[in-house]
Amino acid sequence: MDILVSSLFAGLLIGMVLAMVALGLTIIFGVMEIVNFAHGEFLMVGMYTGLLTAQATGMEPLLTLPVAAAAGFLLGIICYFGFVKFVIRGPMVAQLLGTFGLMIFLRNLALLFFGAEDRAIHQGILVGKSFNIGMGVIAPATKLAAAALSVIAFWAVWLVINRTKIGKALTATSLNPQGARYMGISTERMNALAWGIGGGTVTIAGALLVNFWSVNPFIGLLFTMIAFAIVALGGFGSVSGAFFAGLAVGVITEIPGIWDFLTYIFNFGWMADVPMTSLKYMWVYLAYFVIMIVRPRGLFGWKR
């Protein structure tokens, strides 16, 4: 029983961070219907920003969030005006492959500058500490802090989108770009803002993630696919959907632990032979596929 509870708990914790990862993707898709393959690479940029800032200045890694957010916001804006703006006029193939080119570009730029090795943070007051919550659940302090800060940041973005004037303009553009333009909302500015917010939120998630996840230049694709699965489950373009879908996908990534529990309960020999840990992320891809087939709108989606 302990293993089940602690798997579910770990899944929910990581799910809160993953929701933050997917938030930017769903905002960008909602506003301009473009799929950003470089999303995971933005995350990688956030992870490296957090790591290098913390190592260079020696400050607490969790306090690097503003630096990472600023870097991500700038990166998003630069990508929009330097590249995406020209691609959205073209056919869909060009959009897909174009952002894929951006992904290869950023990934190998990181490889050139930082090298291929894994890097991790070994400093900070939270590293190495953990809490025993009971029922066999031991939560590392870094994960708890990252999850809590993710939820706060997610809530802040939600407030900006739903309660401020500029957020309403953003929503208006995603609902009906032409109508929004008649109301005097510049589509171009809103698109740029969506890319800025998208980049900023995902780099925040990266700076949180790097506290307990080592970073290398190739880490992006995995998180891109996870973010796609979350966005598909939550509904393309839905912000609140992304949060609950993030929790669900977080639990899906903990399927190996749940499998261990089932093996223990049913005690079939073949169940122990399945190399579940290596198949950890296959379930995420499979979940994406099944969601798209069964319910393409997602749980909270309004866009199709």
Cα–Cα distance measured from residue 56 to residue 40, given in angstroms and rounded to the nearest whole number:
24
Instruction: Read off φ and ψ for residue 126, nearest 5 degrees.
Output: -90, -15
Residue among 98 and 206 whose Cβ is closer to other proteins:
98
Question: Which residues have a Cβ under 8 Å from the Cβ of 28 and sit 6 or more positions away?
Answer: 34, 36, 194, 195, 198
Question: Which residues have a Cβ under 8 Å from the Cβ of 234 and sit 6 or more positions away?
Answer: 22, 26, 240, 241, 242, 243, 244, 245, 246, 298, 299, 300, 301
Task: Extract the tokens encoding 33.
Answer: 């219907």
In whole angstroms, how close is the CB of 208 to other proteins at the nearest point?
Answer: 25
Residue among 100 and 244 whose Cβ is closer to other proteins:
100
Residue among 196 and 301 whose Cβ is closer to other proteins:
301
In whole angstroms, how close is the CB of 20 to other proteins at the nearest point?
Answer: 20
In whole angstroms, how close is the CB of 188 to other proteins at the nearest point?
Answer: 16
> Interface residues with other proteins (CB under 8 A)?
33, 35, 83, 86-87, 90-98, 100-109, 111-112, 115-116, 217, 221, 225, 228-229, 232, 275, 278-279, 281-282, 285-286, 288-289, 292-293, 296
Residue among 132 and 278 whose Cβ is closer to other proteins:
278
In whole angstroms, how close is the CB of 244 to other proteins at the nearest point?
Answer: 20
Cα–Cα distance measured from residue 137 to residue 298, given in angstroms and rounded to the nearest whole number:
32
In whole angstroms, how close is the CB of 89 to other proteins at the nearest point?
Answer: 9
Are 220 and 43 in contact, with CB atoms under 8 Å apart?
yes
Helix (H) or strand (E) holding 134: strand 130-134
| Alpha helix segments (H runs only) across the chain | 2-32, 39-57, 65-79, 85-87, 92-114, 141-163, 165-175, 177-182, 187-209, 220-234, 239-253, 255-266, 269-273, 282-294
In whole angstroms, how close is the CB of 226 to other proteins at the nearest point?
Answer: 11
Residue among 213 and 228 whose Cβ is closer to other proteins:
228
Residue among 56 and 112 whose Cβ is closer to other proteins:
112
In whole angstroms, how close is the CB of 203 to other proteins at the nearest point?
Answer: 20
In whole angstroms, how close is the CB of 136 to other proteins at the nearest point?
Answer: 28
Instruction: Read off φ and ψ for residue 130, nearest 5 degrees.
Output: -150, 160
Are 280 and 256 in contact, with CB atoms under 8 Å apart?
yes
- End-to-end CA distance of the chain: give it in Å, rounded: 41
Residue among 54 and 287 whose Cβ is closer to other proteins:
287
The CA-atom distances, in angstroms, between 29 and each of 169, 174, 191 are 15, 9, 10
**Residue 279 DSSP class:** G
Residue among 66 and 296 whose Cβ is closer to other proteins:
296
